[in-house]
Amino acid sequence: MPRPASMAASLTAFVRHAKLALAAAFLWLSAALAASAGPHLVVDAATGEVLTASHATDRWYPASLTKLMTTYTVLREIRRGAITLQSPVRISAKATEEPPSKMGFPWKTVLTVETALKILMVKSANDVATALGESVGGSEKAFARLMNAYAREIGMVDSHWVNAHGLHDANQYSSAHDLALLALRLKTEFPEQAGLFNIHAIRIENKLFRNHNGLLRRFAGTTGMKTGFICAGGVSIVASANIKNRELVAVVLGHRSAKERNLRAAELLTAASRRIRASDLPNLYEWPATGVPVAPRDISAAVCGRSDGSLEKLETEDAAAEYFPIRRATHEEREALYFSEETDKTEPLQLATGNATGPDPFGLLIDRPPVVLAEEGDGALQKRFELAGGTMVAIPAASPLQPELPAAAVVAESSGEEAEPETLSPTGKVVLGGVASAIPLPRPDAKSSAETAGKPADQGN
């Protein structure tokens, strides 16, 4: 029969270990629940295996994550032969009026496409985004049509774009699933541009601009991507990291602060790196189409004012929150688990204005460049009319520089309507976009026929 002393020692050891186990469990649950639970998704970039996801197809306001779609659209136009990285981007009067974040370049400043893309990925400048869209598409509206055509082609069924910068518009939205698809497309189709998403800082003249993505400086293995913030969509990020020789992509949407967003992304990436696959989640390329899409949530009150409970409602959908009175770990305790001290010594990339020597399909470098393009901006400029005050109005004509629209889009365009089905959301509101039939998707192939310039497969649909 065991001695009382040994039984007491065993019981003491058991209690001690139980306390440690509970403390560890509480810390883990605290980390999982500490952030307001906006949508998220983590995917293995090589295989498309989704390792964790929550509300992955909920439509969300993407803020400056939009600039990833802007970049993809520009790179597709380069591959199609319409422009090059050295083509001009001209700051228009409209671009100078965009709110921050912005570079503040004067009207008529000329950049190259390459410089504009680098500014977008580091400074997230809205004025440069607008100018890039106008210079590549002919007008902001025409460029948005390009964005939507390419988005539909790659299976982004819960996305709709109306501008190149991501400033709030109720008709501009995406989802964690779609943004993950976009990130993988950027990596797969344009591997030579990987460095574009990993620039720590840029310098223009005597001004230094550091990348808003703090993970680049503090989370080991980070390979880049993009951050975003607007009140309606919160603070969000698409982050990629190479952990244990696996390239992972995390999409984290709808947080209240950049610190919390960055920490949540680090937690999700770290946890996902320990998994081979999640048995209950489909592959990203085989994600089932949703029936009726969930309308975007406007979380302005929670992010920029008094909370209206939208984020807390999402948070408490995790049943674990109902089981334990959890002591949540402090932000500092969680940071210590994932982040190193900031010791970034990377030299900023020197950029300059001018030097645009590439194709100029919209005549941006002529002596009297047009400052107002026709609304659709569908082609080469054949006629120009000068108005009072010297304003040049350009009248475009049909041109192969823009991809052809499907017949349905042409019919809808003649009536001034979007060529996308309307869908009722659970709230009863009409949501543009609907559900497309692009899922399941073919996996992207770097040697696909879409790379051949001029092929119909690369004209958008």
Region class of 433: left (phi > 0), else alpha (psi between -120 and 50), else beta = left
Residue 173 DSSP code: B
Q: Which of 39-48, 145-154, 426-435 has the lowest mean pLDDT?
A: 426-435
| pLDDT band, very low/low/confident/very high, at 294 (cuts 50, 70, 90) | confident
Asked if residues 334 and 31 have their Cβ atoms less than 8 Å apart, the reply is yes
* Residue 36: both structure tokens together: 């307001």
Share of the chain above pLDDT 70, in %: 66
Residue type present at position 102: K
Over 70: is that where the pLDDT of 308 sits? Answer: no
pLDDT at residue 280 in the model:
86
Annotate 217-285 with DSSP letters as a single string.
Answer: HHSTTEEEEEEEEETTTEEEEEEEEEETTEEEEEEEEEES-HHHHHHHHHHHHHHHTT-S--TTS--GG
User: How confident is the model at residue 6, as a pLDDT?
Assistant: 58
Determine the number of helices (DSSP H) and then strands (DSSP E) in the chain.
Answer: 13, 15
From 36, 92, 124, 174, active-site residue: 124
Instruction: Using a cut of 0.75, tell me whether the model's pTM lies above it.
Output: no
**Residue 411 pLDDT:** 36
Its sign, for the CA torsion 290, 165, 68, 421, is: positive
CATH class name, domain 37-458? alpha beta
Is pLDDT above 60 for 427? Answer: no
What sign does the CA torsion over 81, 85, 86, 92 have?
positive
Q: Which long-range contacts (CB under 8 A, 24 or more apart) does 334-341 make?
A: 334/30, 334/31, 334/34, 334/263, 334/267, 335/263, 337/31, 338/219, 338/263, 338/266, 338/267, 338/270, 339/218, 339/219, 339/263, 339/266, 340/218, 340/219, 340/220, 341/218
Residue range 94-141, pLDDT digits in tens: 999 999 999 999 999 999 999 999 999 999 999 999 999 999 999 999
Q: Over 80: is that where the pLDDT of 353 sits?
A: yes
Catalytic status, residue 415: no
pLDDT tens-digit map of 47-76: 999 999 999 999 999 999 999 999 999 999
345 is catalytic: no
Residue predicted with more confidence, 335 or 412: 335
pLDDT digits (tens, 9 = 90+) for 8-49: 555 555 545 554 444 444 334 434 434 346 999 999 999 999
For residue 36, indicate whether it is catalytic: no
Alpha-carbon distance of 252 to 237, in angstroms, equals 5
Among residues 36, 67, 87, 135, which one is catalytic?
Answer: 67
Domain ranges of the chain: 1-34, 37-458
The reported pLDDT for the residue numbered 176 is: 97
pLDDT in tens, 249-266: 999 999 999 999 999 999
DSSP code for 444? P
pLDDT tens column, 172-203: 999 999 999 999 999 999 999 999 999 999 99
259 to each of 293, 413, 438, how far by Cα in Å?
30, 44, 36
Three-class DSSP category at 155:
coil
Residue percentage of the chain with pLDDT more than 90:
57
Amino acid 343: pLDDT: 63
Angstrom distance (rounded) from CA 338 to CA 333: 10
Helices (H), 154-222: 176-189, 215-218
Catalytic residue among 36, 64, 87, 159: 64
User: Per-residue confidence at 423, pLDDT binned at 50, 70, 90?
Assistant: very low
